[in-house]
Amino acid sequence: MSGPWHDLTALGTTRAQLGIWNLSHGETNAVRRPHFGSLEEHLHLLTAAQDVITTLAPLLENFSTPVLWHPDLHMGNVFVSEEDYTKIVGLIDWQFTTILPTLTQAQWPLLLTVPDDYETGPSVPKPQADVNEMDPDEQKALREKHEEGVLAKCYEIALNRGNPHTGSALSESPEVVRQLFLLCPDTYKDGIVPLRDCLIRIFKSWESSGFPGSCPIQFTSGELSIHQEQLAEYDDWQSLRQYTFNVLSTDEEGWVPPQLTFEVIRAHERKLFQLYMNSQEPGITEEKAKALWFFS
C-alpha cells in the first residue's frame, strides 16, 4: 500500500486499510496487551476510522507539507560533543526514518517526558502552590513533573523558532487526530484499546472542536463504561511495563547495556515476573501471565 498520495485523506484512509491488512498478514513478536480485542472489534473501529479521517483530513491540509523525520530520538541515538554537551555531533538509527506529512511527523521526541496535562502555547508551567505543604514523596513527584513541563516548554519554544511550520503542527493541530493517523496501522501489535480511546476522545470532543456534521462513529454509555475499565487496566499495565524497563535498564527489545551483567539483570527480571504473577487475580495460569509479561 505505497503512495504517492495526493492528499491527507488518501494517506489516512490507506493507513487504516493497512491496519486491516496487517491483522491477517502482519508478523510481530510484540507482547500481547490487555484487552487485545477481537478481529471484529479491530475491523469495526478501523473502518470507522476511515470515515472519521475522510471528514477531518480536509480541515488539516495546512499541516500536510511532507517532511523527513527521525522517529526514534532517544538518548542512546543522540551523540553530543565531549567539550560542549549542548552541541549535537551525530544521530544514529535512521532505518525507520520516513517522509510523511507534518501532521503525522510532529511528535514529542522520546528523550522528553511530557506531562499528561501539558498545554501547548504561551503559558509557562507553574509549580503547584501548596507543594511545600505536602509530604516529601509528593513534593518530589510534583517537582519532577514541573521540571518535565518546563523542559517540554523549552523544546516547544525552540521548535517554533527553528521550524515554525512543524511547531504550529505540534501546537495547533488536534493531538487526538494526529494520533488517529499514527495508531491505525498497528492495532495488530498494540491491541484495540489505544485506537478505541482515540476515537472516543474524538467522539466526545466533536461538537466542542467545531468539526462539521456529526461524528461518523457513536458510542453508547455502556460501551464507554466498559472502555474506561479496560483503559484503566491497560494504563496500569503500560506504567508497570515502563517501570520494569527502568529498573532493568533495558527496553522492549530486552537489550542490556554492556557495562551491566546480563545474568544479574535476567535474575532480576525473573523476580519481577514472579511478583507480577503473584499480583494478578487468584488462579491465573503461568501461561496467561507470560502472555502479558514484557519479555518472552
Which among 184, 217, 250 is the end of a domain?
217
Q: Are 102 and 68 within 8 A, CB to CB?
A: no
The reply to whether 54 and 91 lie within a common domain is: yes
Domain hosting 163: range is: 109-172
Predicted confidence (pLDDT) at residue 9 exceeds the cutoff of 90:
yes
The reply to whether 97 and 189 lie within a common domain is: yes
The reply to whether 52 and 29 lie within a common domain is: yes
Q: How confident is the model over 14-24, as a mean pLDDT?
A: 95
Could you report the per-residue pLDDT of 136-153, keeping only the tens digit for each?
Answer: 888 888 889 999 999 999
CA nearest to 3, candidates 123, 104, 120, 143: 104
The reply to whether 63 and 148 lie within a common domain is: no
Give the residue with greater pLDDT, 185 vs 128.
185
The reply to whether 135 and 203 lie within a common domain is: no
95 occurs within a structural domain: yes
Q: How confident is the model over 200-222, as a mean pLDDT?
A: 95
CA distance 270 to 277: 11
Could you report the per-residue pLDDT of 160-181, keeping only the tens digit for each?
Answer: 999 898 899 988 888 899 999 9
Cell of 83: 567539550
Give the residue with greater pLDDT, 34 vs 195.
195
Could you report the per-residue pLDDT of 224-262, keeping only the tens digit for each?
Answer: 999 999 999 999 999 999 899 989 988 887 888 888 899
Q: Tell me the average pLDDT of the chain.
A: 90
Q: pLDDT band at residue 54, thresholds of 50, 70 and 90?
A: very high
256 occurs within a structural domain: no
CA nearest to 233, candidates 33, 5, 40, 13: 33
Give the residue with greater pLDDT, 4 vs 203.
203
CA distance 196 to 237: 17
DSSP at 291? H
Q: How confident is the model over 208-232, as a mean pLDDT?
A: 95
254 occurs within a structural domain: no
Predicted confidence (pLDDT) at residue 57 exceeds the cutoff of 80:
yes
- What is residue 282's predicted lDDT score, i.e. its pLDDT? 78
CA distance 280 to 275: 9
- What is residue 153's predicted lDDT score, i.e. its pLDDT? 94
Place of cell 511550520: 165
